[in-house]
Amino acid sequence: MLWVVRRRASPQVAWAAVVFTALLPTVSVGLRRSFSQYFAGLSSPAGISGPGLQFYLADLCPDLLFSVLLVWTIVPVIDHLYELDKRIWLLSGTFAGLAVLTKSSGSPLLLFAWLSTLICVLAANCCQIQRTLLTALWSTVPFAILITPWVLDSGAQMAYQYLYENFFGSQSAIYANLHPNLVEEAGFYWQHFQDHMGHIEGWAMLAIGLISSVFLFVRKTAARRDVRLMAMLGVSVVLYALVSASPNKNYFLGLPYYLVVWAFSWSALASVLEKRVRCHHLISWALLLIVCTYAGFQAAGGFYSLENWPSQGRLAVQENRQVVQRIVADLRHTGQQ
């Protein structure tokens, strides 16, 4: 976020985007959930079983890292659409390889996003397709270096077997909707969008991003010829179409396109604010002050909630921590044998 927004607006706006992103429910799970559930009355002994998927977001550590690496794989390439060099492609290939090693079952999603980005790059540089393709080959160098040991150690075979079992084998019925229809399949991940990105800030930033992009497109300036925002939005739409078309639904599978939409929204807003913050520095400082005030409010509410959390809930957290520590110790002991 810092890199993408800083290329379009002032450092204050970029840091506002970073702080705002760090406070997303999918990133600051404990802070946001403890705050919202405590004041919603779900922290009482009778309501401990009520949160459902609220704290389940804490289970997405590999998914979150994979999604972030996927965003780092495609967004820098799109952001340097007309000035791509081997440095950008080397970074893209490195992040792609790390994403595969982080969550190998997400490899089809990563490769699909990477291919869609390459198509956008070739469409934008149609006058020099051969040169663009040759430059893009640099991304395969770090990608191959990173995944080759994994492939030689049967990692690719195990990932294929896992995907086959979950999509076509005995496990497919567990994650699939037994009576699917078009509305439910298309809206599944939008129902969980607010769980990951926030009930207010998620939808607000999506609306701001769409309005800002329309505003930039309508204006008869050089910004209209900047297709980076359209490419970013197009890739997110493609990712959404892929995960929605998949019969198996996963609570975390929509996170990559959520984050791409988030990057698109902030990029569009930063482009709108670009000239205004240069002429009026108070705008960028005011935005940063508002975001920092919001962050302070969330932090104060979270700490207050944890300090006043019922003792029964505290015991459950301690028991979970002990169980996890025992599992880690067992795995470590097994690995040393």
Per-residue pLDDT tens over the stretch 23-42: 888 887 767 777 666 666 65
- Global pTM reads 0.81
For residue 236, is pLDDT > 70? yes
DSSP assignment string, 189-224: HHHTHHHHH-TTHHHHHHHHHHHHHHHHHHS-SGGG
- Total number of domains constituting the chain: 1
Contact 223, 270 (CB under 8 A): no
- Determine the pLDDT at residue 51: 43
CA 131 to chain centre: 31
For residue 1, is pLDDT > 50? yes
What is the domain range of residue 235?
2-336
**Segment 217-227 mean pLDDT:** 63
pLDDT in tens, 268-308: 888 888 767 766 778 778 888 888 888 888 888 877 877 77
Residues in contact with 218: Cβ distance below 8 Å, sequence separation at least 6, in sequence order: 224
**Segment 185-212 mean pLDDT:** 87
Can you read off the two tokens belonging to residue 318? 């301690």
- Determine the pLDDT at residue 291: 86
- Determine the pLDDT at residue 45: 41
Which residue would you say has higher pLDDT here, 204 or 163?
204
Tally of CA atoms within 13 A in the half-sphere of 264 that contains its CB: 26
Three-class HEC string of 83-101? CCCHHHHHHHHHHHHHHHH
- From first CA to last CA, the distance across the chain in angstroms is 43
